[in-house]
């Protein structure tokens, strides 16, 4: 493992896109994720004035509509996506900018599944050029809604891959390996996200800030389960895992991991005491049940509702609510034990968003707002090892891709076998390593870390437990997206989140990143 203390976005080398069979240029995903940025990598204490006092805090926020205008579009988040031609609720890029003296932070969260390269770097670089704020001080993340169009240019071609067995899995081979042109939505997303960051910086004004937490335990459930003996179906590779994601409830015995019920909230007010922005964090993958329309999922509904929680019946017109995704790689909202009455489309989204917005309000209701707070950030580029298929796995993949869908079914194979076979052949051409960017931010006694993976919840809980700060949360899928990140003990159990083609880096990767992040938090605490 190699760690670079300099924050060089251009050094990122994302994994190749999936699921092409033929080798393509690097770029599996660099997910859109919340954009957090602090000045350089120095502690605020080094930037204090002659009096030794922490400079006053300034804050600005903005939300820009990025809802697609041209249809149909293909949502990202399904093995068999279907065109969508209508919108239930708008998509936004939402940004919060903070400044204290020479130190600064921008946090930008976008209503997409993630933001990949080269879009991720382009957005951050364009925003940095427009604001004069360092690119390494910008954290960009996606909410991980599964009901928004893909932000990845090549998905316009790749998403027709293996659609009901009617399309040739090799279709991407006929496409140019040159970078795909932006779609209308991708261009709108990029420009809107840059605009949100720029507007947030332009809107800076004297502010006060508070922090708080409140639990919502009844809407998060670990989706990985042990099953009754003899009931585990084969995985796509023909093996038998120890646990299964989202299993049939009739055979479950116990969950394979914990949950994190905490709703952590950063609340910002103007100098006159008006609500300016709220940034919350909850470890829930998404809610779903969107009825086949474009939707920001519960992240967007939270943003709408929390304005009334902290701003009253008539919240300030320019208030911005932001909900970031925590470590939710193995957490969803499904009911596995017990029953829940049927829901109308979007009904469950509203119910969950209401509870989380209530928790955000309750978390900061009695909190003390301060007009200054130490502001600092660390960013590192960490080199991780990529998983590579062996000769036996490659031979299996080549054989599967010669089979007709009917043959796959008659052989009793997992229906996803062709999908993962294509990914395996692509992974054979992966580089030995991939560079990923991680960040650690201090805002007073609140710490925020970012990881560019779909992170299993145990990792987030470990960071909270071992952090030197009283309050710490993780924003996942930030500054890139490189698949799932399970801890070693979950790797041992198998299951979707650990499969080669869903997980792309070696099992020791989570430990490496946790160690680096804790070291960075320690530096911020000094």
Which residue ranges in the chain fall short of pLDDT 70?
A: 1-52, 78, 153-180
pLDDT at 37: 33
For residue 281, the cross-strand partners are 264, 324
DSSP 112: S
The model's pLDDT over 42-62, given as tens digits with 9 standing for 90+, comes to 233 333 333 458 999 999 999
Calculate helix-pair angle for 457-466, 509-525, nearest 10 degrees. Answer: 30
Rounded CA Rg of the chain:
22
Please count the residues of the chain: 526
Give φ, ψ of 380 to 5 degrees.
-135, 150
Question: What is the pLDDT at residue 116?
Answer: 84
- Strands 454-455, 484-485: pairing is parallel
In 3D space, the residue among 369, 364, 263 whose CA is nearest the CA of residue 310 turns out to be: 364
Please name the residue that has the structure tokens 């209530």. 358
pLDDT for the residue 119: 86
In terms of Cβ atoms closer than 10 Å to its own Cβ (0-12, 13-18, 19+), residue 335 is exposed
Across the strands, what pairs with 75? Answer: 149
Helix axes 119-131, 184-202, angle to 10 degrees: 30
What pTM, to 2 d.p., does this model score?
0.88
Q: Which helix (H) or strand (E) holds 195?
A: helix 184-202
Q: Given phi > 0 = left and psi -120 to 50 = alpha, else beta, which region is 305?
A: alpha
Query: What are φ and ψ of residue 6, in 5° steps?
Result: -85, 140
Element (H, E) at 225: strand 224-227
What pLDDT is attached to residue 490? 99
Q: What pLDDT shows up at residue 153? A: 64
Angle at 510 between CA 508 and CA 515, to 5 degrees: 100
CB burial of residue 366 (10 Å; 0-12, 13-18, 19+): exposed
pLDDT for the residue 4: 44
Spell out the domain ranges in the chain: 2-525
User: At CA 112, angle to CA 156 and CA 23, rounded to 5?
Assistant: 40
Quote the pLDDT of residue 52.
59
């Amino acid at each position: 493992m190699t760690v670079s203390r300099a924050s060089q976005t251009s050094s990122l080398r994302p994994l190749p896109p999936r699921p092409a069979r033929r080798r393509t240029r690097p770029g599996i995903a660099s997910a859109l994720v919340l954009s957090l940025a602090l000045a350089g990598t120095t502690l605020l204490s080094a930037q204090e004035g002659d009096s030794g006092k922490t400079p006053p805090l300034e804050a600005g926020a903005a939300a820009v509509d990025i809802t697609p205008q041209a249809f149909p579009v293909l949502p990202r988040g399904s093995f068999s996506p279907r065109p969508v031609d209508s919108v239930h609720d708008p998509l936004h890029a939402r940004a919060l900018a903070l400044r204290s003296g020479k130190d600064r932070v921008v946090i930008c969260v976008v209503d997409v599944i993630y933001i990949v390269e080269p879009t991720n770097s382009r957005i951050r670089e364009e925003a940095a050029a427009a604001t004069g704020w360092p690119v390494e001080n910008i954290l960009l993340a996606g909410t991980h809604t599964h009901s928004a169009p893909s932000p990845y240019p090549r998905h316009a071609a790749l998403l027709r891959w293996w659609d009901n067995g009617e399309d040739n899995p090799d279709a991407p081979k006929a496409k140019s390996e040159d970078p795909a042109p932006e779609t209308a939505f991708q261009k709108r997303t990029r420009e809107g996200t840059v605009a949100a960051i720029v507007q947030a910086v332009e809107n800076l004004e004297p502010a006060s800030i508070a922090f708080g937490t409140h639990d919502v335990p009844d809407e998060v459930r670990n989706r990985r389960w042990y099953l009754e003996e003899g009931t585990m179906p084969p995985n796509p590779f023909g093996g038998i895992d120890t646990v299964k994601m989202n299993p049939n409830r009739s055979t479950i015995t116990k969950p394979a991991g914990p949950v994190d019920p905490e709703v952590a909230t950063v609340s910002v007010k103007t100098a006159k005491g008006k609500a300016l922005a709220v940034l919350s964090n909850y470890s829930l993958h998404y809610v779903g049940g969107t009825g086949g329309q474009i939707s920001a999922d519960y992240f967007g509904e939270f943003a709408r509702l929390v304005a009334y929680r902290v701003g009253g019946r008539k919240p300030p017109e320019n208030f911005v609510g932001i909900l970031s995704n925590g470590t939710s790689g193995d957490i969803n909202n499904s009911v596995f034990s017990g029953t829940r009455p049927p829901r109308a489309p979007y009904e469950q989204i509203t119910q969950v968003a209401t509870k989380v917005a209530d928790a955000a309000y309750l978390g900061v209701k009695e909190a003390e707002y301060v007009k200054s707070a130490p502001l600092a950030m660390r960013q590192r580029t960490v080199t991780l090892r990529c998983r590579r298929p062996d000769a036996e796995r490659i031979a299996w993949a080549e054989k599967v891709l010669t089979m007709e869908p009917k043959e796959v079914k008659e052989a009793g194979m997992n229906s996803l076998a062709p999908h993962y076979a294509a990914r395996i052949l692509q992974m054979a051409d992966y580089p030995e390593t991939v560079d990923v960017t991680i960040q650690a931010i201090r805002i007073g006694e609140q710490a925020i870390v970012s990881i560019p993976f779909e992170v299993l919840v145990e990792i987030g809980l470990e960071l909270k437990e071992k952090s030197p700060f009283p309050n710490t949360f993780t924003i996942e899928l930030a500054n890139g997206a490189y698949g799932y990140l399970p801890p070693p003990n979950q790797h041992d159990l198998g299951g979707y989140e650990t499969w080669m083609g869903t997980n792309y880096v070696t099992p020791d990767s989570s430990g490496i990143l946790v160690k680096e992040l804790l070291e960075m938090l320690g530096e911020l605490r000094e």
